[in-house]
A and B are shown apart, each in its own frame.
Chain A
Amino acid sequence: MAESPVTLETLRQLAALAGLPFGDAELAELVPQAAALLAELHRLEALDLAAVEPALRFACLPGEGDGG
């Protein structure tokens, strides 16, 4: 099994980039959760999503879409 690219150092850099004042102890707790989420997202690559648009909608003007 490939080693996860999520390490404490990765999360330190992400936290710094996001301006989050999180210490190493908390970031260390986050490492396995972030690694598990990334692994689950990688699994989605096995699906054929090429022709699938994201489930998002946009309307130019409020009330223009079928929801308005």
Chain B
Amino acid sequence: MAAEELTRFTIAELAPRLQRREVSPVEVTQAHLERIARENDRLRAYLTVLPERALAAARRAEAEIARGQYRGPLHGIPVAVKDLFAIRGVRMTCGSQILAQHVAQQQATVVQRLEDAGAVLLGTLNLHEFAWGATSINPHYGTPCNPWDPTRLPGGSSGGSAVATRAGLAMATLGTDTGGSVRIPAALCGVVGLKPTYGRVSRHGVFPLCWSLDHPGPLTRSVTDAALVLQAIAGHDPADPTTRRLPVPDYAGALRGEVRGLRLGVPRPFFFEQLDEQVARAVEAALAVLRELGVTCVDLDLPLMRDVPGASLAIMVTEAYAVHEAWLRTRPQDYGADVRLRLALGSTVLGAHYLKAQRFRALLCQEVGEALRRVDALATPTTLLPAPRLDEPVVRLGGSEVVVAANLARFTRPFNLTGLPALSLPCGFSNEGLPIGLQLAGRPFDEATILRLAYAYEQHTSWHRRWPATALGSRGGAA
């Protein structure tokens, strides 16, 4: 098999071949490292590449599999993590100048769990500085390149994670999602992005943006792969007291369950207003597919959604300010202008404001929780529009001007405030050839149901199989 082909599989497709020793983890890792060496200057997905470490891990995986010690579907699979997950002994910049020379002294729990599952770490990935921004425009390391169109934003803050996953530079990646930072780049780059329930995946060893809203999660090329990665990283961690002692279900096993009879809530007010027409059409078409599969779609109204942006911002700026306060005093010039200003906003929020936002958050959880007693999951667009142009900070939608950076997270952050599991999966393409994301959100700790719905949809569509022309040399299309 040609090396280039080895970078285009999903995990679910490649894992059985690795187990049967038809392909070696070393070959697969080398193919990815070669591709990174060839493409990363252009795509700017990686900040640090770890060839020696990766090849050593791949050789270990090869030897273990040869001895019959197969660990499972991530064994020998090349993956990468956003550059704010600590890998012991490896530079961790958080996309910043401030931590440009910082070397992690600890290992994030999820990184350890990936390695325990036999995954091969290729390196760390570009992001919006300190994960605070939905664009991934990074003044220190350059902006990751959207593989569908280099003139478009990749989304953020986990932009490098989405680009690497879609462009064949890693088979799966990890990102963090505080207001949509896994789901937004997943939607804009055409991959699956999963934000698990708050407390399902450990945050230990992950540099915080906002403790009470941060959620680590996978970006993958298929729903099955998201289930496989979640399986490896989920579960209680004594080092993160917010993780819950709950059994972790068999996510991959749950995918093939029946979706007929499930009820899907469609909150049309707020989530379907001021929407790009092509996004609206793609999401309606996706709902039609789900209805054909026997899912009942029920229109809902969640009136508190309109107050989410203010409450969300108050919590984010307050917690982020607390994280960055000392550097903001002593090294303000080392931040990019946008992040510095957002951080400074935290100095204007009073303790009473923060607590008011947290009280609103409790009320929002009640409202959404009541809705989720009537339906099994919610469906919305992931973003207002497909990937915006890099040079177009303001766009016109529904007759109004919309500031892109401030509104990319409009539909995603409600599920950070509620902590509910939510994923984005490809549900179509715009006339310009840009991917569009469908968001599914579920009940607390019920990732299995949204994965099952997403899998059923994916089995009846082929959007996730499209590859950008940049990732295929001169030709795009279906893999």
Contact = CB atoms under 8 A, between A and B. Distances in A.
Interface residues of A, number: 37
B460 interface: no
A43 B307 contact: yes
B317 A49 contact: no
B358 interface: yes
Contacts of A1: none
Interface string A4-22: 0010000100110111111
Ranked 8 nearest A-B pairs via Cβ: A40-B310, A54-B358, A55-B361, A18-B347, A55-B362, A34-B348, A49-B359, A52-B359
A37 B317 contact: yes
Contacts of A66: 244-245
Contacts of B50: none
Interface in B306-323: 307, 309-311, 313-314, 317
27 contacts: A6-B348, A14-B348, A17-B347, A20-B344, A26-B340, A26-B344, A30-B344, A33-B345, A37-B314, A37-B349, A39-B310, A40-B307, A40-B310, A40-B314, A43-B307, A49-B356, A49-B359, A49-B363, A53-B359, A53-B362, A55-B212, A63-B238, A66-B245, A67-B199, A67-B244, A68-B241, A68-B245
Interface string B332-375: 10000000110011011100010111111111010000000000
Interface string B69-84: 0000000000000000
Given A49-B360, A54-B362, A37 B348 contact: yes
B243 interface: yes
Contact of A44 (B212, B238, B243, B356): B356
A44 B311 CA distance: 8
A59 B376 CA distance: 31
Interface of B: 199, 212, 238, 241-245, 304, 307, 309-311, 313-314, 317, 325, 328-329, 332, 340-341, 344-345, 347-349, 353, 355-363, 365
A30 B348 contact: yes
Given A37-B345, A49-B359, A67 B242 contact: yes
Given A6-B348, A34-B348, A44-B310, 19 more contacts: A20-B328, A20-B329, A20-B332, A21-B332, A26-B344, A29-B341, A34-B345, A37-B348, A38-B353, A40-B311, A41-B310, A41-B353, A44-B307, A49-B360, A52-B360, A53-B362, A55-B358, A65-B241, A67-B244
A47 interface: yes
Contacts of A20: 328-329, 332, 344, 347
Contacts of B310: 37, 39-41, 43-44
A26 B465 CA distance: 46
B356 A14 contact: no
A42 B413 CA distance: 20
B145 to A, nearest CB: 28
Nearest to A48: B363
A63 to B, nearest CB: 7
A53 B353 CA distance: 14
A56 B361 CA distance: 10
A47 B344 contact: no
Contacts of B363: 47, 49, 52
A37 B353 CA distance: 10
B353 A59 contact: no
A49 B357 CA distance: 10
Contacts of B359: 49, 52-55
B344 A54 contact: no
B345 A30 contact: yes
Contact of B329 (A19, A37, A38): A19
A62 B238 CA distance: 9
A43 to B, nearest CB: 6
Nearest to A6: B348
Nearest to A64: B241
B394 to A, nearest CB: 15
